[in-house]
Structure 1
């Protein structure tokens, strides 16, 4: 059973088209993804989800490839098929040092993973937050600070984790189909 309806660009209200246009302008994409079309029936809801994503991913001081890796890892840990595929694609388009097989190995290897050092500490922190945010310790913060992250940047990392979790619940509960340009990793 399909649990959602899509509102394509041509059938969207003017307010929803404004959201779609902002998405495409900001991301450089030439089409509106399924997750956003599934919200297109409600311009306020589409705008709220898009503004949250835009504000979290496209502002702040952390680089976009790191944010995309965080979303990918959180989505993979939550078993969110749509988000893990989408953000695997985004990571690969932003970090040419990685290949699909690297991300797939990360998902399937458990503790035996091989990520570039640039990602390792943030990924470990994100996984701990996903497992139980109440168990994050001062030492976890200090580990990131020792790696050069400020307290503000650690808050930004947590905001990205939270954003991913929100989208994971939304896309998984609806069982969104993958966009044609996404490759399933789960």
Structure 2
């Protein structure tokens, strides 16, 4: 298992990222994902900057929709950690059990139809092409 780097033992570079995570998320908590990535500070920094920009930066999608998309991709990719952390984040942004159930129904249906379309090698309809 990967060593988790706690704030107290972190380098100044890692502490700076942890401090930014705390400020951006308005929490004192640093989750295990970031503590694991801290084993390689350049990856920690790069990943945090991307997540910060995509998940909290300005955009047309509201924060709950962004979390729902993240859950959907995480379910499809089988990332238990990401499913758990983004489900918690979505619940904090207003997702309820009914929404979660509907989301999973859509994810399951999309995965099934994607596999059927790929298996049958169905050509894309001309009207759907952009």
Contact 2:68 2:103 in 1 (8 A): no
Q: Higher Cα Rg: structure 1 or 2?
A: 2
Q: Deviations over 1:46-83 (max 9, x none)?
A: 11110011111111312111111110111011111000
Name the CA shift for 1:102/1:65 in 2 (closer, same or farther; >3 Å): closer
Trace 1:87-102 onto structure 2 (pairs within 5 A). 87-95=86-94, 98-100=95-97, 102=99
Matched residue, 1:103: 100
Assess if the C-alpha contact under 8 Å between 1:12 and 1:41 holds in 2. no
The structural deviation recorded for 1:26 is 0.4
Which deviations, in whole Å up to 9, do the C-alpha atoms of 1:146-172 show, x marking residues without a partner? xxxxxxxxxxxxxxxxxxxxxxxxxxx
The aligned counterpart of 1:55 is 53
Identify the residue that residue 66 of structure 1 maps to in structure 2: 65
CA deviations 1:76-101 (Å, max 9, x no partner) are 11111000111111111112xx3246
Give distance in 1, aligned partners of 2:66 and 2:76: 15
Aligned alpha-carbon RMSD (Å): 3.0
Q: Residue 4 of structure 2: SS of its match in structure 1?
A: coil
Greater per-residue helix proportion: 2
Q: Report the Cα distance in structure 2 between the residues aligned to 1:140 and 1:38, rounded to whole angstroms.
A: 42
Equivalents in 1 of 2:37, 2:84: separation in Å?
19
What is the distance in 1 between the residues matched to 2:124 and 2:20? 36
Structure 2 counterpart of 1:40: 38
Structure-1-length-normalised TM-score:
0.55
Residue from 8, 17, 20 that aligns with 1:19: 17
TM-score scaled by length of structure 2:
0.76
Match of 1:76 in 2: 75
Residue pair 2:67, 2:89 contacting (<8 A) in 1 also: yes
With over 3 angstroms needed to count, the CA separation of the structure-2 counterparts of 1:106 and 1:66, relative to structure 1, is closer
